[in-house]
Amino acid sequence: MNKAKLIEAENRFLALYPGGMKDPQLLEIGKKHKVEKMIKLTQESFAADRFSNSDEVVESMSKIAGQSSLVSVFEKPKFRDLVKALNSEERAWLAQGLGEFLHGDQRAGFEAMVDLLGEYKLAKWPLLTVFGVYYNPGVEVLVKPTTAKGVIEHFELELKYSPRPSYEFYAGYREAKDGGRKGNLPDISFDFLGYHFDQDKLGANKEGHPSVFCQL
């Protein structure tokens, strides 16, 4: 990681938002994304004892993905329709994968979800990572393709992005995120900074807000 670019981004961030991640302007942006609501819903829906009912878990996955501002409007209906079409065995497979990812063998759970969703051409990074970032905010990381590619380039990370999700990339990206937090401002993640302060190169949403605000 290019630490000089990280420090530069941190300084520019504080110049705009003296309160850091708790600055009133950023808190207002967070409200628009309903961050607290989504965290609560996800943590309640995917508590360890909920995974005895696969149908309930999979329906919750559809509901949360549908309500999340982090999932593409094109992927939401496709995922909703897929959930409706899955048979009981596939529902159990998907639910078990998420359960392992959140509460057990994370690699095995991630790969199980990739295998199942891949059969229906829905093994998309946001769908695979949105539940983790809501369930364990500050620990897990959301992987959005444009964001990830821009962050890797901007901060010169030794990672190679692939549209086909892999646990190796996920773990490496999360490790890089955690490494970025060891700088001057541990509560500001490097992905947020890079996207916000190089908008022409890395992109921003239509309102000009950093599109990775909800990286949490």
Residues 137-178: pLDDT tens digits? 888 999 989 888 888 888 888 999 999 999 999 999 998 877
Among the residues of the chain, which ranges form H helices?
Answer: 3-16, 24-32, 35-45, 54-67, 75-85, 88-103, 106-119, 125-135, 145-154, 167-180, 190-196, 199-202
At 17 the pLDDT is 79
Is-contact 185 9, C-beta < 8 A?
no
Paired tokens of 157 = 């990370």
3-state class of 68 per DSSP? coil
Give the whole-angstrom CA distance, residue 195 versus residue 58. Answer: 32
Instruction: Report whether pLDDT(103) > 90.
Output: yes
At 202 the pLDDT is 36
Query: Full-prediction pTM beyond 0.85?
Result: no
Instruction: Report whether pLDDT(191) > 80.
Output: no
- Tell me the pLDDT of the chain averaged across its residues: 83
Give the whole-angstrom CA distance, residue 57 versus residue 102. Answer: 12
The structure tokens 């949105």 sit at: 130
Tens of pLDDT along 13-58? 788 878 877 788 877 877 778 888 999 999 999 999 999 999 999 9
3-state class of 61 per DSSP? helix
Lowest-confidence region among 5-9, 52-56, 78-82, 140-144: 5-9
At 30 the pLDDT is 74
The structure tokens 């937090």 sit at: 181
HSE-up of residue 165 (Cα within 13 Å, Cβ side): 27
Instruction: Report whether pLDDT(66) > 90.
Output: yes
56 C-beta neighbours (distance < 10 Å), count: 14
DSSP 51: G
Longest alpha-carbon distance in the chain:
53
End-to-end Cα spacing for the chain = 20
Residue extents of the structural domains in the chain: 3-32+141-215, 38-128
Q: What are phi and psi of 10, to 5 degrees?
A: -60, -45
